[in-house]
């Protein structure tokens, strides 16, 4: 796959999104940034078809079909060990980095399989960014260099790095706290700030999709709230898939929900997926109802 090197100007301001909190775009009126060698502009849809995952001979995820529409937030919920994180890592080819990991099925990014022959995993990961459970800023780099790390690592060129740093940090809701100390080490920030720095780092390469693996599990309520605001704002520009254990968070932050469940010694499967409203008010499966009401898991 060749990545078009056009301007990322028309960053889809396509507000087909659902009835969530209206968040002011902090970047309103800002000049667009031109990246050379980066992903094509706009959000992308992700579709998993018959996705399965193994660790060694152990099948952990079986036959998942899930559509994650563009410019929407899809939440993956379910008890621990049901394969949510594994599924998320299938979506940007991080699963195959685990020794002994195998997979089946396909994942379509805007209709094209990311696992087809002749496509490099690096290009997939460039278009589908990821934020991890534990904040992992690069300790040897300053805040500024952390934000720009993706450009350096993937050899993307940018004419206006200063503006890019500012926009990425603005979008991640961190700019005001760090604008006077961009040269400080990224590791010197608090946990919540580090996680937002990681979000800024993932956004700086202007991906089409952002995957978040329990991004708030190690954070306090204030930081969590800020990250949820960030997610709400992000969905104007890109597609977001988020794994969360927090029911309220799924309810607040997502448009669609998929409920994963693994019964004893069975691989994880999607029990039900629908709009967030339906999942939380009128789910089709009684196990979903039991889970979202907190009766198990």
Contact pattern for another protein over residues 205 through 234, marking x by CB under 8 A? x-----------------------------
Question: Which range binds another protein by CB under 8 A, 47-55, 66-74, 129-137, 230-238?
Answer: 129-137
Identify the residue among 130, 168, 243, 257 touching another protein (CB under 8 A): 130
DSSP string computed for 198-241: HHHHHHHT--SEEEEESTTTTS-HHHHHHHHHHHHHHTTTSEEE
Question: Which range binds another protein by CB under 8 A, 40-48, 117-125, 164-172, 274-282?
Answer: 117-125
Q: Which of 127, 109, 115 is nearest to 3 (CA)?
A: 127
Identify the residue among 30, 112, 139, 157 touching another protein (CB under 8 A): 139
CA distance 240 to 13: 15
Residue 115 within binding range of another protein, rule CB under 8 A: no
Identify the residue among 188, 220, 248, 285 touching another protein (CB under 8 A): 188
Question: Are 252 and 70 within 8 A, CB to CB?
Answer: no
Question: Which range binds another protein by CB under 8 A, 24-32, 143-151, 256-264, 268-276?
Answer: 143-151
Quickly tell me which residue has 């995952």 as its tokens. Answer: 53
- Other Cβ atoms closer than 10 A to 100: 9
β-bridge pairing 58-68 and 46-55 = antiparallel
Q: Is 258 helix (H, G, I), strand (E, B) or coil?
A: strand
Contact pattern for another protein over residues 1 through 20, marking x by CB under 8 A? --------------------
235-294: contacts with another protein (CB under 8 A): none
CA distance 12 to 207: 12
Question: Which range binds another protein by CB under 8 A, 14-22, 90-98, 165-173, 250-258?
Answer: 90-98
Shortest separation between residue 191's beta carbon and another protein, angstroms: 9
């Amino acid at each position: 796959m060749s990545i078009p090197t056009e301007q990322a100007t028309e960053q889809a301001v396509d507000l087909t999104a659902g009835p969530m909190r209206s968040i002011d775009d902090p970047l309103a009126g800002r000049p667009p940034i031109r990246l050379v060698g980066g992903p094509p502009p706009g959000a992308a849809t992700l579709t998993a078809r018959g996705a399965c995952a193994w660790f060694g001979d152990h099948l952990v995820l079986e036959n998942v079909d899930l559509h994650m529409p563009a410019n929407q937030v899809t939440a993956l919920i379910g008890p621990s060990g049901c394969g949510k994180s594994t599924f998320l890592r299938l979506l940007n080819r991080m699963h195959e980095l685990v020794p002994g990991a195998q997979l089946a099925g396909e994942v379509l990014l805007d209709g094209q399989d990311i696992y087809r022959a002749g496509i490099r995993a690096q290009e997939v990961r460039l278009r589908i960014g990821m934020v991890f459970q534990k904040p992992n800023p690069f300790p040897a780099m300053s805040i500024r260099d952390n934000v720009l790390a993706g450009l350096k690592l993937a050899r993307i060129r940018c004419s206006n790095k200063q503006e890019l740093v500012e926009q990425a940090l603005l979008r991640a809701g961190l700019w005001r706290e760090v604008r006077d100390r961009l040269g400080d080490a990224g590791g010197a920030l608090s946990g919540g700030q580090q996680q937002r720095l990681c979000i800024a780092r993932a956004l700086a390469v202007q991906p089409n999709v952002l995957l978040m693996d329990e991004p708030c599990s190690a954070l306090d309520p204030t930081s969590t709230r800020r990250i949820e605001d960030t997610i709400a704002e992000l969905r104007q520009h890109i597609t977001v898939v988020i794994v969360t254990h927090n029911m309220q968070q799924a309810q607040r932050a997502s448009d669609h929900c998929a409920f994963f469940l693994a019964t004893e010694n069975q691989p994880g499967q999607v029990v039900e997926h629908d709009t967030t409203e339906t999942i939380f008010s009128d789910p089709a499966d009684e196990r979903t109802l039991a889970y979202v009401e907190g009766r198990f898991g």
